[in-house]
Amino acid sequence: MTGPIAEFVPVPRVERLKLLPPMLVPAELGAQWPPRSLHLNESPFAPAPAVLAAMQQAVTEANRYPDHEGHALIAALSQRFGVAADRLVIGAGSNELLFGSGEIALDPGDQGIAPDPGFITFNRAIALRGGEYIGVPLRADGGADIAAMLAAVTPRTRLFFIASPHSPSGSMLTGDEIEHLVAELPDHVLLHYDEAYYEFGRHAGGFEALPLLGRRKGPWIATRTFSKAYSLAGARIGYGIASSVALADAYRKVRATFSISAMALAGAMAALADTDYLKMLLDFTALERVRLAGALAQLDMCALPSAANFIMAITPRPAGELAAALQKENIFVLALPWHDTPGALRVTVGTREDNDAVISGLHRAMS
């Protein structure tokens, strides 16, 4: 073969995408500074024993392809939430279904709206389809500004992302806000109501959105995940409740074949059944969330109201500097800009030891 080899150039919509930040790799700092991953909103606890046993059993048949549609899990979810099985769809985490909304709703040049800052996949799902991302700033209290988001809708808008509880702020939508959204969002727009922190929100007294979403004439999907409250972030499994069979079928059409492993399916089935373990985790998180917020307040940090498994606290000093100081002690939190302030830290609620380490580390960083 002679001559130069042409370099492959991706299509423009892919070329414009940014690479995800590399995963932070904890350093080996010895027993004094064990790694504490408090930046990804994972559960600090391993899956329930029954979940581990189910997954280990599934491994013995790893030579077989999994049930692509997850019929057993769909049946269990249908019974749990009183939703027809043919309106339910599974995904590799809720992430696969978020990207699915972009595939279903957007052509190049269409618009997608999301609260900003928000989950990074909202932006990526829109950009990957060549759509225009319209980020609507959160209110100063961390809540999504539903009125402003609705005002941003145009005839080119085809997709509308909203989350409750929302990351990074932890805020929840009220019943009135959901009703306003359902009543005013035009029918030509797909409403994607992301509930990755659903169980935490309900435990905190949040509103059950499904009955209100059901009043909408236009298309909608509510997505949830086993990553957070069920301690299965590494398994990658979630599900969606669609407004119609036709919409659920659309997600089934765009899903990657066999995207969920047999081990993940088995773990999710067992996790859904173990309500005692779920209650333990939710009760623990609620108590530690309050304790952590109080400790941060003593450091002159303002923790926004949160109904999730994390806290976002506005800092009196540059948030990036504080996060860097914690990282030197193998404690990982997320720093982000926030509304004319030195910034904010989003801190996952970890074990008591994790949370104590954050508090002590911030004391040292602030002194």
> Is the sign of the CA dihedral 88, 91, 97, 100 positive or negative?
negative
pLDDT-based confidence at 93, cuts 50/70/90?
very high
pLDDT for position 131 = 96
pLDDT for position 31 = 78
In the predicted model, is pLDDT for residue 2 greater than 60? no
pLDDT for position 18 = 86
Q: State whether 331 and 266 are in the same domain.
A: no
User: What whole-number distance in Å separates Cα of residue 125 and Cα of residue 139?
Assistant: 23
In the predicted model, is pLDDT for residue 194 greater than 90? yes
pLDDT for position 1 = 47
Q: State whether 301 and 223 are in the same domain.
A: no
Q: List the domain range (segments joined by +) for residue 328.
A: 29-46+276-366
Residue 157 has a CB neighbour count (10 Å cut-off) of 23
pLDDT digits (tens, 9 = 90+) for 162-174: 999 999 999 999 9
- What total number of domains does the chain contain? 2
Query: How are beta strands 344-348 and 310-314 bridged, if at all?
Result: antiparallel
Average pLDDT of span 102-128: 97
Instruction: Supply 108's token pair.
Output: 């190049």
pLDDT-based confidence at 4, cuts 50/70/90?
low
pLDDT digits (tens, 9 = 90+) for 284-339: 999 999 999 999 999 999 999 999 999 999 999 999 999 999 999 999 999 999 98
User: What whole-number distance in Å separates Cα of residue 129 and Cα of residue 259?
Assistant: 20
Task: Work out the percent of the chain whose per-residue pLDDT is above 90.
Answer: 90
pLDDT digits (tens, 9 = 90+) for 277-295: 999 999 999 999 999 999 9
Among residues 257, 273, 289, the one where a domain terminates is 273
Instruction: Supply 11's token pair.
Output: 């299509």
pLDDT digits (tens, 9 = 90+) for 29-86: 787 899 999 999 999 999 999 999 999 999 999 999 999 999 999 999 999 999 999 9
Whole-model pTM over 0.75? yes
pLDDT for position 353 = 98
190: domain CATH number? 3.40.640.10
- Does 214 fall in a domain? yes
Q: State whether 64 and 39 are in the same domain.
A: no
pLDDT for position 269 = 98
Peptide bond into 165 cis (omega under 30): yes
Average pLDDT of span 204-216: 97
Q: State whether 58 and 35 are in the same domain.
A: no
Longest dimension (CA), the chain: 70
User: What whole-number distance in Å separates Cα of residue 305 and Cα of residue 169?
Assistant: 8
User: What whole-number distance in Å separates Cα of residue 148 and Cα of residue 62?
Assistant: 49
Q: State whether 146 and 290 are in the same domain.
A: no
Q: State whether 40 and 57 are in the same domain.
A: no
pLDDT for position 7 = 78
pLDDT for position 69 = 96
pLDDT for position 319 = 98
Place of tokens 């074949």: 257
- Does 225 fall in a domain? yes
pLDDT digits (tens, 9 = 90+) for 233-244: 999 999 999 999
In the predicted model, is pLDDT for residue 351 greater than 70? yes
pLDDT-based confidence at 13, cuts 50/70/90?
confident
Residues whose CB falls within 8 Å of the CB of residue 235, separated by 6 or more in sequence, listed in order = 55, 226, 227, 261, 263, 264, 267, 268
pLDDT for position 366 = 92
Instruction: Supply 73's token pair.
Output: 């899990």
318: domain CATH number? 3.90.1150.10
Among residues 240, 273, 306, the one where a domain terminates is 273
In the predicted model, is pLDDT for residue 187 greater than 50? yes
Q: State whether 160 and 71 are in the same domain.
A: yes
